[in-house]
Amino acid sequence: MDLPFRLLNVFGIEGDPFSGNPLAVFPDAAELSGAQMQSWARQLNLSETTFVTAVDRHACSADVRIFTPSYEMPFAGHPTLGTAHVVAGLIGGLLDSAEPGSRAALPDALSLSMPAGRIPVRRVGPTWRLSAGTPSFRSPSFTRDELARTLGLPVEAVAAGGTRLVNVGVEQAMVRLESAEAVRACSPDIALMYQHLGGVGPAPHVYVWAYTGEATVEARLFAAGDGSLDEDPATGSACSNLGGWLVGEGARGIRIEVSQGAAVGRPSRLELTVDDDGGIHVAGRVAEVGVGTMHVG
């Protein structure tokens, strides 16, 4: 059995081919079981790998599953944008083959269905933009001091009252820090992450961020899984949750540029918008960098 795949960089920076968060997309995965998808995600060992299980060219939609090397995600941002780019090409190809002699039209808007629900995605110039769901909130059970020790920071580096558990598709701990220097100084303790954040999301996740200007933010995302601690280069789900955090603070009609990934050598840019109605949108550049085929014996 041969399985084609595409390799993309999402949330990249124009002119830097090794920026953004890498993503593998299997566009024809209807015959794979969940266990097989998990095995392929572990084989590739990227932040996430997606599997397209169905495409509806008339509705401009697709069914998608998202896996980290350790577990399935109900929603994730950079896989949503990268998969939308691939699905648009698939739908264009289907339209072309259905109408011989016609030129394939790549859709500028489509939807992806995943365990968290249906996510609308739209092409906006050189970027793709997702529209996130309505945020829900929980108060953390850990203290500010426990959180600071978990992050390897002095307690005064953690903004008082700046932590919420936010969920627009996947729950994460959103932690506002007092400065970009504090964001860069984070050195989480994995044992303490399991102790204090073990009940957050599918696995312990913490997103730290700080303003660097009136409309700019620097952020990092740490996730624990299978006993190891990973840092994500660019996290669209957490950027969406940051939008939820801001909505909870009353923000409307704002646009913020989020920088992430420099600490792991993959500088990334995410565009976060909260519209006048409190809708949350996250956008970024998507570039396809390779294609290949996996051979299953």
Residue 7, pLDDT above cutoff 50 = yes
Residues 6+ apart with CB under 8 A from 257: 215, 216, 217, 269, 270, 271, 272
Pairwise CA distance, residues 252 & 233, whole Å:
27
Residues 6+ apart with CB under 8 A from 174: 163, 164, 165, 166, 207, 209, 238, 241, 242, 244, 245
Residues 6+ apart with CB under 8 A from 38: 67, 71, 72
- Residue 105's pLDDT is what? 65
Give pLDDT tens digits for 89-131.
999 875 444 454 444 567 899 999 999 999 999 999 889 999 9
Residues 6+ apart with CB under 8 A from 82: 8, 10, 23, 25, 50, 286
- Residue 125's pLDDT is what? 84
Q: Is 39 exposed, middle or buried (0-12, 13-18, 19+ CB in 10 A)?
A: middle
Pairwise CA distance, residues 6 & 24, whole Å:
6
To the nearest 10°, the Cα dihedral for 110, 28, 79, 106? -30
The amino acid that residue 286 corresponds to is V
The amino acid that residue 28 corresponds to is D
**Catalytic residue numbers, as ranges:** 48
Residue 296, pLDDT above cutoff 90 = no
What pTM was estimated for this model as a whole? 0.93
Radius of gyration of the chain (CA): 19
- Residue 102's pLDDT is what? 43
Residue 225, pLDDT above cutoff 90 = no
Q: What is the mean pLDDT of the chain?
A: 93
Q: How many CB atoms lie within 10 A of CB 226?
A: 11
CB 24 within 8 A of CB 44: yes
Residues 6+ apart with CB under 8 A from 59: 111
Give pLDDT tens digits for 178-221.
999 999 999 999 999 999 999 887 889 999 999 999 999 999 99
Give pLDDT tens digits for 26-67.
999 999 999 999 999 999 999 999 999 999 999 999 999 999
CB 159 within 8 A of CB 148: no
Question: Rounded to whole angstroms, what are the CA distances from 53 to 113, 117, 163?
Answer: 10, 15, 37
CB 119 within 8 A of CB 130: yes
The amino acid that residue 147 corresponds to is L
- Residue 61's pLDDT is what? 96
